[in-house]
Amino acid sequence: MSKILIISHAAGSRRWENELLVRLNAAGHVVSSCRALAPTPTARGLDGVLAIESQRFGPSLASRCEPLPSDGSGPADLVVDLTATAAGRGTPVLTLEFCGHSTFPAGVAEMLASGRLPELAVRLDGVAVARGRPMLSDRLWLSRICNDLLAGAISLVAQSVARFSQGQLVPITDCSPPILKNGGFVRHYLPFFCRGLVDRTVQKLRLGRRPFYWQVAYRLIDGPGVAETGQLNGTPFTVLADDGQRFYADPFVFERDGRHYLFVEEFPYATGRGVISVAELGDDGRFAIPRMVLEEPHHLSYPQVFAQAGEIFMIPESAAAHELVLYRAVQFPDRWVRDTVLLTGRDFNDATLLESDGRFWLLGTERFGYGSASDTMAVYSAPSLRGPWVAHALNPIAINHSAARPGGAFIRQRDALVLPVQNGSRAYGGGLGLMRLDRLDELDVRFAPPRPIGPGPAWARVGIHTLNRAGNVEVVDSAG
């Protein structure tokens, strides 16, 4: 690990800077901090809106707080300069850009003015070495937008420091600088807020009594499917009907003894907590009404079911409990028992299993208290299914709203492995891409850019969220 010096402003620090210090310390680095003499950027409009919203939501990562301690005295391997004033210190210097700006308030104003999705960049001595595209889970409230943006910034800096420590922080292609907008924060914020308020109202009226809604669909096909064609064409999908009191999502299909079983998240609105249910494909080519097979006091979803060493297992998402549990079927498909707790103390989402070269891997997104649960990829590995599981040295692997959160099990295409990944650039559940795995070992994790799945007449809804297949049964879901 490395000795890190964080440089912050002497006054007007924000909570995310303290969270960054804590995060780097937790990763095992030796972290100290000092204060720059440069004046603190003014941001009266931003701070005023955040103060108003804090009455409802509490403080955000962008809220003002006490400055970092000034305890930086010894030599450092790397300087993390949050003020963009520390060039020429004789030590490698990391700087962070928000939407093309060197300060967070200016970056937020730029994002509101341009209407573009936020983009972060890290530079090492002025050279671009990392890029992040945080997902915005809320397009109305500024404090939540700032949480998503700054959580991504913390993860991007943590990623850059990890790669620096491993000697793998290398230049990347630099983007063209954005065309920066002029004008004060308030001038850009008010139209943004009004548009967001109108969009939120229209959405609530459209959904009616359902706070949110998903649908699962399936089809029987021979030959190429969505993963091969990249299109939702061919045989039409059949919707898995619900009774209006619940929805179904996250479909996984498993074949055993010539029969197909569809595992889904079932979400009854009455309880507000997901359970795992299963339906069997009948001789008429239709799935029956799903029946519940696994329930916990916390939310469950993403029921990845697989066979290993003659037994059948399931790893559902249980991020709400800050744990990841391996379940084993004692009477398939109806009875499951907790076999092993794989991870604890982690907010790990949609963990997707892969066995490769004698080692087991789990890829998913990890949330660190703030921000989106869908934009920060993390990887864990173990010598056996039951562990022990350890974090990859380069975690987080990616901060990208369109190339981080899995949307189904790995797909083998000839000699390649492809991972379905969710595209959250527009909204959660807004689309899916197919991302080829180029390298996965203890030294590095690399994917090719995702190839978006295009629309087609087989599924009339906008985008899909999950894609899986077993034999001739292919399943998808999307926001209803």
142 and 99 in a common domain: yes
Q: Is the pLDDT of residue 211 over 70?
A: no
**Domain extent at residue 216:** 211-479
159 and 303 in a common domain: no
Tens of pLDDT, residues 307-363: 999 999 999 999 999 999 999 999 999 999 999 999 999 999 999 999 998 999 999
Residue 87's pLDDT is 67
Structural domain ending residue among the three candidates 139, 170, 204: 204
Q: For the residues 168-175, what does the mean pLDDT come to? A: 90
Q: Is the pLDDT of residue 51 over 80?
A: yes
Contact indicator for 312, 305 with CB cutoff of 8 Å:
yes
Structural domain ending residue among the three candidates 204, 221, 243: 204
267 and 129 in a common domain: no
Q: Is the pLDDT of residue 178 over 70?
A: no
Contact indicator for 316, 296 with CB cutoff of 8 Å:
no
Q: For the residues 176-193, what does the mean pLDDT come to? A: 71
Tens of pLDDT, residues 189-200: 778 878 877 777
Residue 180's pLDDT is 60
pTM: 0.94
Contact indicator for 465, 432 with CB cutoff of 8 Å:
yes
13 and 51 in a common domain: yes
| Sequence-separated contacts (24+) of 109-114 with Cβ below 8 Å | 109/46, 109/181, 109/183, 109/184, 109/185, 109/188, 109/189, 110/178, 110/180, 110/181, 111/149, 112/185, 112/188, 112/189, 112/192, 113/181, 113/183, 113/188, 114/178, 114/179, 114/181
Average model confidence (pLDDT) across the chain:
92
Residue 205's pLDDT is 66
273 and 148 in a common domain: no
Query: What confidence category does residue 99 fall into, taking pLDDT thresholds of 50, 70 and 90?
Result: very high
> What's the start-to-end Cα distance of the chain, in Å?
47
Query: What confidence category does residue 29 fall into, taking pLDDT thresholds of 50, 70 and 90?
Result: very high
Q: Is the pLDDT of residue 459 over 80?
A: yes
248 and 111 in a common domain: no
CATH of the domain at 323: 2.115.10.20
434 and 403 in a common domain: yes
Structural domain ending residue among the three candidates 204, 232, 248: 204
SS3 state at 326: strand
Residue 206's pLDDT is 63
CATH of the domain at 174: 3.40.50
Backbone angles phi, psi at 213, to 5 degrees: -155, 135
389 and 315 in a common domain: yes
Report how many domains make up the chain. 2
Cα(267)–Cα(243) distance, integer angstroms = 12
